Amino acid sequence: MTAPLSVAPRHPGPARGRRLGRGALAAALVLLLGGAWLLWDNLRLDVSSYEVAVADAPDGEVLRIAHVSDLHASEDPGFQDAIVRKVEARGVDLVALTGDLVDRSTRDLAPVLELAARLQTIAPTYFVLGNHEADSPLRQELLVGLAEAGVVILRDEATQLQVKGRTVTVAGLDDPRVASADGRTPEEPGAVLDRLDLASSASDGTEAAARGPVVLLAHRPELLAQYAGRGADVVLSGHAHGGQVRLPLLGPLFAPHQGLFPELTEGTHEADGTTMVISRGLGNGIGAVRVNDPRELVILDLVQEADAG
């Protein structure tokens, strides 16, 4: 019998080996650059400026608001210093904290209370509860600490302050989760606002003509239809985290209570004479990583309708 032929194993030639090496190097470089970009994207802080025209802003003056939302108890002192510096540099007239200042898992309130106290020294500061405060075992301790720092806490109520010689009405709503966490049936935001009667008078009985612009703090943006047309000129909301992942062409990927490809995640939106301004937020919450969705501090200018442009 003829012995079977043996075939020597084929080895990649030098050229193929070089190609494989270059491919591996390119892949490693892409991963390295992608990781560096993702780290930078998650650490940076955007400041977004918006202007909204209202009928009752101080004549010839700008009413400037710093909108601080969804911090989720970030404990990085450098990041908190950056927030304070940027708010202070803008010369704001009031600060709005629109919920989720802490995370439901937060156990140390000292950093957020210190931040709130520092913001309060810059301008009058107002706070509403978000869904994470609703489920936090430290909710009451947080509220006491904020009040001691001079922060005004608004729980389904409205108040007034004087800014540049003009009355400004600030209203605030509890997040619906607060009632649920307390074993109560949540009241629809529209019903609360109807009871506050912002369209005709302020909470202290001030006539509509003297109430000035009305700013509503309400954590959830997906309830815009409930807020609109009930006397608020502007609604400040957060909660959506900008969609967490923002895809080219497709936009935001997911937001709580809106699901996939949500519509209300950032910027300004109008409905029935009310303008909503949504912050992408300053923390990550349950989503560990943001993608193409930097943390955001919103600076809002309210101007006279005739002065807009």
Q: How confident is the model at residue 66 (pLDDT cuts 50, 70, 90)?
A: very high
Q: Residue 63: give its domain's CATH number.
A: 3.60.21.10
Answer yes or no: is 136 within a domain: yes
pLDDT at 90: 96
In-domain check, residue 235: yes
Q: What is the pLDDT of residues 113-138, one digit of tens each?
A: 999 999 999 999 999 999 999 999 99
Instruction: Count structural domains, the chain.
Output: 1
Are the C-beta atoms of residues 93 and 65 closer than 8 Å to each other?
Answer: yes
Residue 279 inside a domain? The answer is: yes
Band of residue 10 on the pLDDT scale cut at 50, 70, 90: low
pLDDT greater at residue 147 or residue 1: 147
Q: Is the dihedral of CA 63, 64, 69, 71 positive or negative?
A: negative
What residues are paired with 247 via a beta bridge?
Answer: 251
Quickly count: other Cβ atoms within 10 Å of residue 249's Cβ: 4
Helices (H), 92-162: 110-122, 131-135, 139-148
Phi first, then psi: what are they for 107, rounded to 5°? -120, -10
pLDDT digits (tens, 9 = 90+) for 250-273: 899 999 999 999 999 999 999 999
Distance CA 232, CA 214 (A): 5
**Residue 95, pLDDT score:** 98
3-state SS assignment for residue 291: strand
Note whether residue 1 is domain-resident: no
Reported as a pLDDT band with limits 50, 70 and 90, residue 35 is low
Ordered DSSP codes for 222-271: GGHHHHTTSS-SEEEE--SGGGSBEETTTEE-EETTTEES-S-SSEEEEE
Whether 23 has a pLDDT exceeding 70, the answer reads no
Least confident of 9-13, 80-84, 185-189, 290-294: 9-13
Residue 223 in domain: yes
pLDDT at 216: 98
Residue 218: phi and psi, rounded to 5, are -150, 120
pLDDT at 203: 45
Paired sense of beta strands 214-217 and 234-237, if any: parallel
Residue pLDDT, tens place only, 148-183: 999 999 999 999 999 988 889 999 999 999 999 999
What confidence tier does 202 reach under pLDDT thresholds 50, 70, 90?
Answer: very low
In a domain, 28, yes or no: no
Owning domain of residue 162: 46-307
In a domain, 16, yes or no: no
CA 219, CA 217: separation in Å to the nearest integer?
7
CA–CA distance, 25 with 118 (Å, rounded to integer):
48
On whether residue 182 sits in a domain, the answer given is yes
Residues in the chain: 309
Q: CA-CA distances (angstroms) from residue 274 to 213, 224, 230, 270, 280?
A: 11, 9, 8, 6, 19
**Percentage above 90 pLDDT, the chain:** 65
Count of beta carbons in the 10 Å neighbourhood of residue 15: 8
Indicate the average pLDDT of the chain: 87
